Structure 1
């Protein structure tokens, strides 16, 4: 059927309107009209007619995209002949119109590649695609470029998994394509290349095709393409002659020397991949050494000639290639290459020059540092007499890098417009750590030499800093002095970070030699001496708002973290030579003295740098880490500064608590304090510690009218309380907290939940407090058999959740407001609180119904209403809501199925639908939870069906199924499809509910089986095999849910899956 010319003209007008009209309404109308073309396979002939008769490129690409969508969407409705016809039609179009627009060719190429992949195992014709495309290569002219592009798209599609086929099916096709076609494609791509190729487009496309071939996932490991670190390329053995042929390498180096970017950089990129070829591919060590020698000579030629290195892309790829050589080859192999001495000297000169011109090569420095770090790391394994020459060049590399960081500091302070685009690594912690992570191995290689150089820079910079700070305050405000202070702070920050990385890499102190410990002592003494300058009251008051001062302070905290890991941990001993050196230099003779310096530093930051969120965060994390170690925590209790904090932790003593930006950090601070408090009760009692909070909560309880001041004070107190209860790790400490808080202050929390339900800044910490309070971690909620505390805790929690939940149900999010922050976050925390209380095992829930207490029933009712208030798409759009929701549903199904079946049919339908959608989640934990919930519900259903006595739960289930006959069949259908046809990481978890669902939905299962057999009516042999597979599935499976019977069904299901894959 062909579209008349008038309809073609209308179609073209719509296409032009869509791409060129300025009126959005006209574009929307045109798009709606064009969308009709991709709604039914009946429109396939019209798409092909447009391609054959329209000269408008916009019309061609829209028709091609629609054709691709139709073919993929209705693939199963097309015959083998039709699929081949659509593929051949696209190839003929490209053959007849080789000068069509690039985007049209790309769209049609994607169509050809997708059809080929989907039909690969169905017919031999699809597997002959390479010979079909080969006709383009032999035709010459523009056809060669089209042929190379088609092959590249084909390789990429074959290498990519799609949702139209399972992962197993994808790997089967990809593996067959690899074994039969990929090598031929690689060879054709290399044959087209020539260093003197006149057609630059063809050269570029051939290089891209080689890249695609080498980037192929040869063994199905699905490497992360975004990762910087390349894996080994597992090329098949059949590729050996090509890889061992020296002309392959030489061709690419020749292309590099004869061309400019993008061709030259693409050639280097291909060489990077070639250097990653697996070791076992080569027939002998001699062949592999020849392969390495080719890379050494080729890269050496580039380094010596400097050909193309003025281009950024070439420079970057060469750095990647150098780093990759050490990643793929051992140092012992490199030193055996004849040109090694020249090569290592050239690489060293290249590296030093790169550091000198760091502004130009900033993105490539990581690879050079990685190269030298790996070279040095291999030194202990180097055998033989051939020198590595690293002792000569590594110090040059380190000093050049450190000097480049000093120059970076000065450049960032220059007002010149040339520096406007410079990025300060201190502003991006991830980038900073990336630059520093390779340094420890390099520095340890020549530790004494590096120390001498670092201190030669550190001491003058510290002296200049001291001199500038000694000037009168008025003089310090002068621009030249401010510049000098900022420069000194920047330089010192870099040096402290470098010192920290070296010290932190030493591991356990007892494993280090005395010489290393003495070096660490010298480095530590230098940094701690700097502390007397940077933390002086005058310096903090005048400099704390300057970014350079903040960077220096963060560097010092980072140093203290590294020192803690090595010399303050539980493995550290006071006999370490570090402490003898610190005693000589600073009179700090043991752990306690140094720990006192660290704690005083933290206290200084909390008191004097309270407005700097980054500093407070890092300081409190250091405080928490110090208190978290058993030995270091015990030692901290010997410090007067710690006792001052335990006795004086009100906002007046620690101004950082009053800063709004630091509100969330209050929880961490009080948690750390209480960890120290609970280590030793003899110094400060719990009641004395909470006295300020007792006074505050008492005054707040007396308030009758809400006010902003009351809300702010209560918000801070709630965060403090959460920190305290999170530190209660055992029965003794939890009982101390509970006996203090209940019942004196819990009514205040219930009142707050009612009054401030629409203020998430208060309700979030309130609900999180209860999430922590009801959490029975480490079995801390263990009450005496005569104690009602477990029930009292649940009743109190229920009152808070009902007060908040019943009101938030009616709350409307303001226009333009954040729905998650205002509403859904609170709901997710409520669900978490309730789930933790249900799973805590400290409440006998039967008591509530027995004595007519509505605490459980009311709370469950409100939680169910909260769940129903969210649409399914809203549940899944917020990950925290999703996790909390399914955690609660799984718990209810496991322990409270009787209560669940008492709910209305509409409610149970909503829950079952949500579980059905959750099964399809890409997050394994969610789908496994949904499967577990279904398993509990189906098992409960089966139990009630086989129960002789007529119980209320059985009547409820019968009523639900009468109102909604397909209540459970949807989940069974989804599970059957997933377990049988899809490759899921949690197959076992998903299979567990199947037996119970089949036993309780036997009629639906029989219908599903009949429909599956009916679909194979045209293939009698396949139908018979399928019927036999279904029969084996239930062989020896009894109608019960005993453990042995379940295991037998699971074994049968595994065999059934295998047979189904063979059949289809």
Structure 2
């Protein structure tokens, strides 16, 4: 393609007016241009002609792609790269006013990419290596001529910002160990030679701007003080853009990756409040210099309500995070004084913050970051600490916690998070600080930090302002009670820490609010508003209870006394919970005569709350409170007798067993009603599962009458959500998928199974106990036996006869009903099986399954081979059944149970191979990613896990199958080969779960059946070997370990075979065929050893 044709194609691609088919054709043609040998010269022609911005854009982006390709780097000489860099610089100098912004951005990016890629390149004419000058490192000298006017200067600043970003953050082509090592070397070199000079250059120009504007306003040029009033200076457009980019350049210097780790300052894996500025020692004098802090603070006072203020405050945020080891104690205090004085000056003139959301957000980030890098004992030593903390308190109350101001100034929830973070962290410091007591001992006031004065008021104002606003503020309601309630819980976690500072005041406030709402709840004709407020308050109570585990020490109460106050809160929530329970039961008691009585019979009439309608969010809040209480007071570690003194006084609850009984009744009541919402069912099952974790918890639970009642009555009549058709009866506004809904059954029965297993006495009565418990499943399975009675028994068939079997035409039930029944059974049994981790319990379950019911599941897979909703949970059940958890698959030596289990599993996998995989390969398009994963990749992952579980279970001697000519083991291995031929290598390496399952199975096969892998057919052996080569490049340590184990075992096998002269012809053919691949594996292995962080 020549330049004229490219211009024509670019016009079609970017200007529109063509069909989608033509657009695809044009795009494909243009994509091949980067591979042409004359790409560089043609791109320069496109830029020179500059007929349209689109051709300029295409030329710039093509050059970036060209230099991104590592294969092109050696083919471009140093002279060509340097000439191209010079050409781009001249092009920007001449045409910067006429370039479209998107073209300018691409050209700047290209210049930065060339500079980085050639950072250590020397001119071919260099003769004296001792005084070498790297030509591509002289970019600062090249940019000097751009200072002639603001537009040119703006381009130079944009180039500097792009170079900083390019060198600091590795690009997509620098992910390999060798490329990243080069990136880190360049990053450190730039830090040591250029970064500080660029930062000082930006600050000097910014300082000149402040001095000039003060002259215009008639203010003193002294930077040691700030103006008494804020102003908003209007700058000319080009000049304003220069100042904005100068601030962006200074911020880019401060957010640079100083350690060369490849992680950005905005890395999501690191909390914003925990970032640390790892500046080198050369920056020390400039970090201590107060003029830099005063410089950035001055932009708030002189350029209020402009985009310059957020950038300036962002620079201060980074300066407040300088690593502590850079400064000694006195220097840290000096820096802290500079910072707090500027913050206090802004707080005294906060109008500029409240008029600009971004400025307010960055300012609150600054306050939060200040505490993250400063300890309380250091903060109280600053000048005018009482004035600083009081000013910050007033600002928090007047502007951040006021919901009305919140609406007026569009305060972001994240902004409030930062300011609450400051207060909560400064309070948390009190529980483990000895230095604070030392600082306080030298002060006349025993509470010189003043937190006991201000923090309780903040807690009080936060709670009361939200309760008042929830009366009519729908925006706040939706913000706090969104689907996952993330914002609410983040705020309450911090408020709860603050509440423990003076716990008696907090509890007095919460009890008063609760009692007032309870009275309103009784009298309200329309209780929706009251329920909103009650819901919020119960979340507050739950978080306050949960803060007990953070080991905070109240200044006014010892721990035992705090437990008494916790008891007062628990009493009130139990009363409300009892009411909701009774109300819900009262509405449906005529429809459910088997309902468990859930009333707290010891509650007096005056203790109860009046009638009010059922509320989902209120129920969820009660469950949240119960979960927080359980973590602190119930279980293996939560023991307290003080709280039960209060519970006994008001409700007659004397110990943990009585309280657990009430909670269990509440959970079971929730599960009893079909009208309950999906989210509440999910949360209830989750609470029940959490409650069954831990030995002590289960030991107490099994003593309770409700648990015993349930173990003997866990039918779908009592718990409608277990009905096999419940999935189709879910609410229309449900946000829980059908698969997630049915998975709740597995979680539910896993919890019940843990309780049942605790009752095992390891005697002959255990089998009777399990048989009684399995009665509902026996009934369902017997129904399936009748449905499948005309279907041949798979145990009497050879696997080769499966394909000749006829169609299944049931007469006792529809296929959809059978499908729902099977899904429910396998999910329930999987939960029970996961809980049965002892030999006796598992043996009892297997004896129930085989031979009566296990063949049913093979028939089910044969019939429903084309329905992912059936075969996915069925395969997962078999994976659980074949997993030798805690050596539970240890059958009696007189029983062939292990072989029967493996034979059934092998037949199941063979059916999956011959029916499901064939069907999926023939009918399923790969373009539908979600369906492709669910219907093909997900069951394949489970099959690989099943095969591995059988191989590593150590409960079957696989040699017996060969001895007696049983093909089960060979069929199992053939399933693995069939899976390999059915999935592409790109898919194998693109899905993490599939990748991990494959490589762990390869590791296991190499240890158990290395001769099988070594003697694969040549194409399959090459497939496995290519995946091993790619596995060494994986960032996952587990995958690398699996590859190393395979390679070690395989090479040892070759050595032994050659040494004994019994190497097979297929083995030697495989080795000879893939000699180059073995060399590539060696290269990848050595690269990992040299460049990667190997352990």
Shift of 1:825: 1.6
Q: Mean Cα displacement is larger for which, 421-430 or 101-110?
A: 421-430
1:516 corresponds in structure 2 to 562
Q: Would you say the 8 A contact 1:152–1:209 is kept in 2?
A: yes
Residue of structure 2 equivalent to 1:564: 630
Q: Are 2:115 and 2:137, in contact at CA under 8 Å, matched by a contact in 1? A: no
**CA drift at 1:710:** 2.2
Which has the higher mean CA deviation after the structures are superposed, 858-867 or 977-986?
A: 977-986
Q: CA deviation at 1:609?
A: 5.8
Aligned match for 1:128, one of 124, 127, 137: 137
Cα deviation for residue 936 of structure 1 reads 2.4
1:159 is aligned to: 168
Aligned to 1:358: 406
1:630 corresponds, among 695, 710, 716, to 695
| 1:431 partnered with 2:487 | yes
Partner residue, 1:525 = 571
Report deviation, 1:41: 4.6
Aligned ranges 1:87-126 → 2 under 5 Å: 87-99=85-97, 100-123=99-122, 124-126=133-135
Match of residue 405 from structure 1: 466
Shift of 1:240: 2.1
In structure 1, the partner of 2:67 is 71
Secondary structure of 1:758's aligned partner: coil
Match among 338, 361, 371 for residue 422 of structure 2? 371
Task: Indicate if the aligned counterparts of 1:159 and 1:217 stay in contact, CA closer than 8 A.
Answer: yes
Q: Does 1:145 align with 2:154?
A: yes
What does the per-residue CA deviation read over 1:88-110, in whole Å, with 9 as the maximum and x for residues that have no partner?
Answer: 11111112223133222222222
Q: Is the 8 A contact 2:493 2:547 kept in 1?
A: no
Tell me how far apart the structure 1 counterparts of residues 330 and 254 of structure 2 sit (CA, whole Å).
23
Q: Which has the higher contact order (CA 8 A, sep 6+)?
A: 2
3-state SS, counterpart of residue 506 of structure 1: helix
Q: Distance in 1 between matches of 2:706 and 2:874?
A: 31
Question: 1 CA distance for matches of 2:29 and 2:720?
Answer: 65
1:66 deviation in Å?
1.7
1:621 equivalent among 683, 686, 708: 686
CA shift for structure 1 position 917 = 3.1
Q: Distance in 2 between matches of 1:807 and 1:870?
A: 16
CA 1:665 to 1:313, structure 2 compared with 1: closer, same or farther past 3 Å? same
Contact 1:924 1:986 (C-alpha < 8 Å) held by counterparts: no
1:509 deviates by: 9.9
Summarize deviations over 1:548-590 as a string: whole Å, max 9, x none.
82111111111111111121112344x6100111111110000
> Which runs of 5 or more structure 1 residues have no equivalent in the other structure?
414-418, 469-480, 989-1064
- Summarize the Cα distance change of 1:508–1:55 in structure 2 as closer, same or farther, 3 Å threshold: closer
**Which among 694, 699, 717 is matched to residue 783 of structure 2?**
699
Range with bigger deviation, 933-942 or 727-736:
933-942
Question: Once the 2 structures are TM-superposed, how far is the Cα of residue 520 of structure 1 from its aligned partner?
Answer: 1.0
Residues 233-252 of structure 1 correspond to what in structure 2 (within 5 A)?
A: 233-252=277-296
Aligned to 1:278: 323
Instruction: Give the direction of change, closer, same or farther, for the CA distance of 1:321–1:966 in structure 2 (3 Å limit).
Output: same
Query: In the alignment, what sits opposite 2:669?
Result: 604
Residue 1018 of structure 2: aligned partner: 905
Does the 8 Å CA contact 1:40/1:70 hold for their aligned counterparts? Answer: no
79-88 vs 25-34, greater mean Cα deviation: 25-34
Residue of structure 1 in register with 2:982 after alignment: 869
Q: Is the 8 A contact 2:93 2:152 kept in 1?
A: yes
Corresponding residue for 2:731? none
Match among 932, 942, 953 for residue 1045 of structure 2: 932
Does residue 892 in structure 1 map to residue 890 in structure 2? no
Superimposed CA distance per residue, residues 900-924 of structure 1 (whole angstroms, 9 cap, x where no aligned partner):
3443222222222333333333433
Alignment of 1:294-443 (within 5 A): 294-309=338-353, 310-353=355-398, 354-356=400-402, 357-359=405-407, 360-363=410-413, 364-380=415-431, 381=433, 382=436, 383-384=439-440, 385=443, 387-413=448-474, 419=475, 423-443=479-499
Residue pair 2:254, 2:319 contacting (<8 A) in 1 also: yes
SS at match of 1:337: coil
Deviates more, 1:85-94 or 1:70-79: 70-79
Indicate how the Cα distance of structure 1 residues 229 and 972 shifts in structure 2: closer, same or farther if over 3 A, else same. Answer: farther
Q: Select between 161-170 and 179-188 the one with higher mean Cα deviation.
A: 161-170
Question: Is contact 1:610-1:656 (8 Å) kept?
Answer: no
Q: Distance in 1 between matches of 2:379 and 2:47?
A: 57
Deviations 1:591-644 (A, max 9, x none): 111111111111111113664222222222222222222222111122111111
Is 1:928–1:986's contact at 8 Å kept on the other side of the alignment? no
Instruction: Output the aligned Cα RMSD.
Output: 2.6
**Alignment partner of 1:92: what SS?**
helix
SS at match of 1:308: helix
Q: How does 1:779-790 map to 2 (within 5 A)?
A: 779-790=887-898
Asked if the contact 1:540/1:608 (under 8 Å) is kept, the reply is no
Are 1:373 and 1:442, in contact at CA under 8 Å, matched by a contact in 2? yes
Structure-2 change in CA distance of 1:63 and 1:430 (3 Å): same
Structure 1 residue 429, shift from structure 2 partner: 3.2
- Residue 972 of structure 1 is matched in structure 2 by 1079
Count of equivalent residues: 955
Cα deviation, residue 775, structure 1? 0.2
| 2:534 match | 492
Is 1:687 the counterpart of 2:771 in the alignment? yes
- Relative to structure 1, the CA distance from residue 570 to residue 36 in structure 2 (aligned partners, 3 Å threshold; closer, same or farther) is closer
Contact in 2 for aligned 1:509/1:566 (Cα 8 Å): no
Distance 1:174 1:733 in 2: 60
Counterpart selection for 1:667 from 734, 746, 763: 746
From 847, 859, 862, the equivalent of 2:960 is 847
